[in-house]
Chain A
Amino acid sequence: MTITDMSLKDMAIGLEEKQFSSQEATQEHLERIEKLNPQLGAYISVTAKEALAAAEASDKRRANKESKGPLDGIPMALKDIISTNGIATTCASRMLENYTPPYNSTCWQHLEDAGAVLLGKLNMDEFAMGSSTETSYFGVCHNPFDLDYVPGGSSGGSAVAVAADMAAYTLGTDTGGSIRQPAHFCGVVGIKPTYGRVSRFGVIPYASSLDQVGVLAKTCADAGTVLGAISGKDKMDSTSAPEPIPDYAAACTKGVKGLRIGIAKEFCAAGIEDAILAELKRAVEILEREGAVVEDISLPHTEYALPAYYVLASAEASSNLARYDGVRYGLRIPADNLHDMMIATRSAGFGPEVKRRIMLGTYALSSGYYDAYYNKTLQVRTLIKQDYDQIFASGFDCILTPPAPSAAFRIGENTDDPLTMYMQDVCTVPVNLAGLPAMVVPMGLNAEGLPIGIQLIGAPFGEEKLFAAGAAIEGPRIIPPLDI
């Protein structure tokens, strides 16, 4: 077994037992990235020099018995939407190609403080707008199970890096499914925690009321370890939550005996791939066998979630992306006057999907349309939240659903058809609208050899139960057939 194959947990044990050093682990990862990244496109930038320096510092700490814990010296990577002081953070956009933040995001600061070794910044859909990592200015990202397929998005690079052992774990962001759908497509664990669980400070916003940082990892326990490290109230983020941080890794061993789990019929309607429904059935069998009670439930407003999400997210995005005007940082296309400079800069700096959503959102907020669109989505959002509140109030611990209508699709298959692309998010967006935690756990492969995952949705700050149930249905890791 090579170091890169290992789970975070095993890697931490290896470091602690001096089977290998952080520098060796880092070097192995860097070599693997060098080999695989040209075909996979998971990394936008690789920070080899900084990574080796951090690894060396970690090894010194460990030698001095000053190790900072299970994340110290572990090579990992960040979605390129998470600000890193002194390291370019592009959001996969031409607009920010030359932008280097002068400050750290809180989530990265937590990991850096815990001794994490940052290998680089990961590919994504431009400004996190997409479900396939095809809208990146820095090139398409490929699914390691079949290079002709997409890895999902927007955190495609984060999922691929974990699936292909190019990082022990990664952080992603999830606004409408951007961690969970790629986790499903790439056969890794992905958790989007409760809104407010992880600080958004320093995370470049797409839709502020929906965005949440989360973890992609090889196992549920690994994801739990990392989530615990990045969670908590941040004085720099007024929307972050003060709730205590449980031991999520420990929650993975709690078992599911007595848990009440709901299956929502609205999620299993026509259009879901048979292989996914089969894995869902298998998950139910495992959970029942382990002592959970599984019952059918109804979330009646589910069908309105997708349009509401696209109106709301686009509205917020149209405002969040207004700061990219060529004045202070990032791209500037010179022109004869201010107005033309701004237009030229934004025309050249943003790709078509970003422009589409800015236009959608601008329209939805325009006077005369506000009530019909934006206000209506707020009402829908309240109804959806009430659906979930009722289920959890009536004693359910979590809800089991498909993560997406299908397994990974082919690169280019949906690029000319935004609506079909948007349908990818039908199973994931209700969770963001309701601000709930949700996790995707890999279950197996379909007939084409593409991974299938299952989604678990929890009550607000009910992540522990997700980890308990997730670990119960989690099988051995699904390894992509990479030929290197």
Chain B
Amino acid sequence: MSQYLTTIGLEFHAELKTKTKIFCSCPTDFAGDANTHICPVCLGLPGVLPVLNRHAVELAAKAGMALNCEVSKFSKFDRKNYFYPDLPKGYQVTQYPLPICRNGWLMVKDEDGNDKKIRINRIHMEEDAGKLVHSGSNISDSSYSLPDYNRAAVPLIEIVTEPDMSSAEEAKNFGETLRLMLAYADISDVKMEQGSLRCDVNISIRPQGQDELGVKVEIKNLNSFRAVYRAIVYEEMRQKSLIDNGIPIVQETRLWDDAAGETRPMRSKEDAHDYRYFPEPDLPPIIIDDQWMAEIAASMPEMPDAKRKRLTEELGLSDYDAGQLIANPPLAHFFDALYAEYPEAKIAANWILGDIAKLMNSTEKEYNVVPLSASELAFLLKEIKKGSINNNSAKTVLEEMFDSDKKAADIIAEHGFSQISDTSVLDSAVAKIIEANPKPVADYKAGKQAAIGFLVGQVMKETKGQANPGMVKELLEKALN
């Protein structure tokens, strides 16, 4: 690509985590049977009117705060008019000239690993459309299509960047950073596979030295940031080869086919709608006064930068550990919960980044939260500290806790994992092993320090692994010196 420059802008749609839809009180959970979470309002029956969900406004404002935007004290809704069967009113209520947030940015790593500021043009609120279930593979080759309006009027934000990215790597990094910020702001589930976060790419290429941007192509149907990356790389090659062969690039929307690893034409500019935007007369403007703005700002959760600072400077975690935790919001949240009850940061982090991370990765399931009680894990770690269970047994307990609702104490009891720290019990085991192993005893006494390890192992074996190894070592040393 050296003789061409790539210009990329991204558009995201994120479903806001409200309990109810944006203009009515239907639940936003659209997983149920088709057309069960609908009412006259979200079905767009004649005469209904929208009433704005305040919580949706708060979440959209929080998204803006998380992405360094200016949150508008005055914004308003508009209608975007087009016909499609999944759109109950024949228009989508959205925000056009006066969106709720403007002028944001995020710092991301560019291809060379340097920080680069990517600007965010705007964030606006809008309602989602319903979903069509086709009898065939799409609407034109189906004998029928059935609309499901459960998703209609679920609140969305659309986030639009400036065309500030110049490579697939940067775009992917931006997307991942943005997803992380939205996850920390706790405004959306941000799951690309399930569509609660969607990303479209706008891309053009132009020869080095040319100021004017090339013809823009939009890519849709990107279900992961890996797909974003691959689609951009593919599109750079496709456009380059067109230019090299003197074929003009058409301004169009293309669909990414993940299985085939290619983009395909969807619609050209000639098919572009004239959306006839105009102010939504059924909704008054959104006015966020100083008090409401302050309340929203106060409700912002700790964001990654502040968290990193706290974990390293206050809790003494390494940059690496803090980074690992922060990159995985469920683990980071679990860390905070665990630390509140077991305030030894390093040990807590090690368990979370080690065993718990492994358990989370080992299943097909995708977790929003760690499926463990932080209190129960804190109990287990305290038991280790007291010496009443050893590390290996504790790992077994953890695994069982992960897969069941059992309490740590019950699992320990079931397995008889309670560690022997009773010196009277251990003394007799130590005496027995010293007697049975004259050679290692002699070696140790002759100065071969390593022999003690063998003897500890033998005592552990004798006690079926339940002895406290630290105490065994101490007792052996005492007996032999």
User: Per a CB cutoff under 8 Å, which of B45, B46, B91, B283 touches A319?
Assistant: B91
Cross-chain contact A101 with B90 (CB below 8 angstroms): no
B278 touches A (CB below 8 Å): yes
Query: Could you mark each residue 58-88 of chain B with 1 if its beta carbon is under 8 Å from any beta carbon of chain A, else 0?
Result: 0000000000000000000001010101001
User: Per a CB cutoff under 8 Å, which of A99, A236, A319 touches B276?
Assistant: A319
User: Per a CB cutoff under 8 Å, which of B46, B147, B283 touches A91?
Assistant: B46
Cross-chain contact B51 with A365 (CB below 8 angstroms): no
CB-CB < 8 A to A13: which residues of B?
none
Cross-chain contact A236 with B49 (CB below 8 angstroms): yes
CB-CB < 8 A to A209: which residues of B?
281
Question: Which residues of chain A (119-173) have a CB below 8 Å from chain B?
Answer: none
CB-CB < 8 A to B90: which residues of A?
319, 321-325
Cross-chain contact B44 with A208 (CB below 8 angstroms): no
Instruction: Pick the interface stretch among A49-57, A195-203, A392-400.
Output: A195-203
Cross-chain contact B89 with A337 (CB below 8 angstroms): no
Cross-chain contact A205 with B40 (CB below 8 angstroms): no
CB-CB < 8 A to A201: which residues of B?
47-49
User: Per a CB cutoff under 8 Å, which of A99, A208, A342 touches B46?
Assistant: A99
How long is the Cα–Cα vector from A400 to B269 in the complex, in angstroms? 54
Cross-chain contact A101 with B81 (CB below 8 angstroms): no
B284 touches A (CB below 8 Å): yes
A113 touches B (CB below 8 Å): no
How long is the Cα–Cα vector from A170 to B458 in the complex, in angstroms? 99
B192 touches A (CB below 8 Å): no
Cross-chain contact B85 with A316 (CB below 8 angstroms): no
CB-CB < 8 A to B52: which residues of A?
238
Measured as residues with beta carbon below 8 angstroms from the partner, the interface class of chain B is 20 to 34
How long is the Cα–Cα vector from A443 to B52 in the complex, in angstroms? 45
Cross-chain contact B283 with A238 (CB below 8 angstroms): yes
- Supposing A238-B282, A239-B284, A327-B85 touch, asked if A200 and B49 sit within 8 A by C-beta, the answer is yes
CB-CB < 8 A to B91: which residues of A?
319, 322
CB-CB < 8 A to B47: which residues of A?
82-83, 89, 101, 105, 200-205
Query: Could you mark each residue 276-311 of chain B with 1 if its beta carbon is under 8 Å from any beta carbon of chain A, else 0?
Result: 111001111000000000000000000000000000
Cross-chain contact A322 with B81 (CB below 8 angstroms): yes
Question: Which residues of chain B (207-252) have a CB below 8 Å from chain A?
Answer: none
CB-CB < 8 A to A319: which residues of B?
79, 81, 90-91, 276, 278
Cross-chain contact A322 with B83 (CB below 8 angstroms): yes
Q: How far is the CB of B102 from chain A (nearest CB, A)?
A: 22
Q: How far is the CB of B242 from chain A (nearest CB, A)?
A: 29
By beta carbon, the residue of chain A nearest B147 is A327
Cross-chain contact A316 with B276 (CB below 8 angstroms): no
Q: How far is the CB of A199 from chain B (nearest CB, A)?
A: 8
How long is the Cα–Cα vector from A366 to B81 in the complex, in angstroms? 11
Where chain A touches its partner, the secondary structure class is loop
A243 touches B (CB below 8 Å): no
Query: Could you mark each residue 74-107 of chain A with 1 if its beta carbon is under 8 Å from any beta carbon of chain B, else 0?
Result: 0000000011000001010000100101110100
A-B residue pair count with CB separations less than 8 angstroms:
103
Q: How far is the CB of A73 from chain B (nearest CB, A)?
A: 27
User: Per a CB cutoff under 8 Å, which of B45, B83, B140, B281 touches A316?
Assistant: B281
Q: How far is the CB of A226 from chain B (nearest CB, A)?
A: 20
Q: How far is the CB of A109 from chain B (nearest CB, A)?
A: 12
By beta carbon, the residue of chain A nearest B144 is A338
Where chain B touches its partner, the secondary structure class is loop
By beta carbon, the residue of chain A nearest B80 is A319
Question: Which residues of chain A (196-250) have a CB below 8 Å from chain B?
Answer: 200-205, 207-209, 235-239
B453 touches A (CB below 8 Å): no
Query: Could you mark each residue 242-284 of chain B with 1 if its beta carbon is under 8 Å from any beta carbon of chain A, else 0?
Result: 0000000000000000000000000000000010111001111
Query: Could you mark each residue 331-371 of chain A with 1 if its beta carbon is under 8 Å from any beta carbon of chain B, else 0?
Result: 00000011000100000000000000000001001110010
Cross-chain contact B44 with A328 (CB below 8 angstroms): yes
How long is the Cα–Cα vector from A237 to B47 in the complex, in angstroms? 10
CB-CB < 8 A to B278: which residues of A?
315-316, 319, 365, 370, 374
How long is the Cα–Cα vector from A321 to B140 in the complex, in angstroms? 25
How long is the Cα–Cα vector from A237 to B50 in the complex, in angstroms? 7
How long is the Cα–Cα vector from A163 to B281 in the complex, in angstroms? 34
CB-CB < 8 A to B83: which residues of A?
322, 325, 342
Cross-chain contact B51 with A101 (CB below 8 angstroms): no
Q: How far is the CB of A332 from chain B (nearest CB, A)?
A: 11
Cross-chain contact A323 with B46 (CB below 8 angstroms): yes
- Supposing A325-B90, A365-B276, A367-B274 touch, asked if A337 and B140 sit within 8 A by C-beta, the answer is yes
Cross-chain contact A96 with B46 (CB below 8 angstroms): yes
Cross-chain contact B45 with A101 (CB below 8 angstroms): yes
B139 touches A (CB below 8 Å): yes
How long is the Cα–Cα vector from A342 to B85 in the complex, in angstroms? 10
Cross-chain contact B276 with A89 (CB below 8 angstroms): no
Q: How far is the CB of A82 from chain B (nearest CB, A)?
A: 8
Cross-chain contact B46 with A102 (CB below 8 angstroms): no
CB-CB < 8 A to B22: which residues of A?
none
By beta carbon, the residue of chain A nearest B275 is A367
How long is the Cα–Cα vector from A23 to B366 in the complex, in angstroms? 66
CB-CB < 8 A to B48: which residues of A?
103, 201-202
Cross-chain contact A366 with B281 (CB below 8 angstroms): no
Q: How far is the CB of B146 from chain A (nearest CB, A)?
A: 11
B397 touches A (CB below 8 Å): no
By beta carbon, the residue of chain B nearest A378 is B279
How long is the Cα–Cα vector from A184 to B416 in the complex, in angstroms? 94
Cross-chain contact B40 with A238 (CB below 8 angstroms): no
Q: How far is the CB of A98 from chain B (nearest CB, A)?
A: 13
How long is the Cα–Cα vector from A83 to B49 in the complex, in angstroms? 13
By beta carbon, the residue of chain A nearest B50 is A238
Cross-chain contact A238 with B51 (CB below 8 angstroms): yes
Cross-chain contact B284 with A322 (CB below 8 angstroms): no
How long is the Cα–Cα vector from A337 to B277 in the complex, in angstroms? 27
B159 touches A (CB below 8 Å): no
How long is the Cα–Cα vector from A105 to B282 in the complex, in angstroms? 15
How long is the Cα–Cα vector from A80 to B235 in the complex, in angstroms? 56
Q: How far is the CB of B388 from chain A (nearest CB, A)?
A: 59
CB-CB < 8 A to A102: which residues of B?
40, 45
How long is the Cα–Cα vector from A342 to B82 in the complex, in angstroms? 12
CB-CB < 8 A to B46: which residues of A?
83, 89, 91, 96, 99, 101, 204-205, 323
Q: List 20 A-B contacts (CB under 8 A).
A: A89-B47, A200-B47, A201-B47, A201-B49, A202-B47, A204-B46, A205-B282, A236-B51, A238-B283, A238-B284, A239-B49, A239-B284, A319-B90, A319-B91, A322-B81, A323-B90, A325-B83, A328-B147, A338-B139, A365-B81
Residues of A within 8 A of B (CB): 82-83, 89, 91, 96, 99, 101-103, 105, 200-205, 207-209, 235-239, 315-316, 318-319, 321-325, 327-329, 337-338, 342, 362, 365-367, 370, 374
Nearest 7 pairs between A and B by C-beta? A322-B90, A365-B276, A209-B281, A208-B281, A204-B46, A202-B47, A327-B85
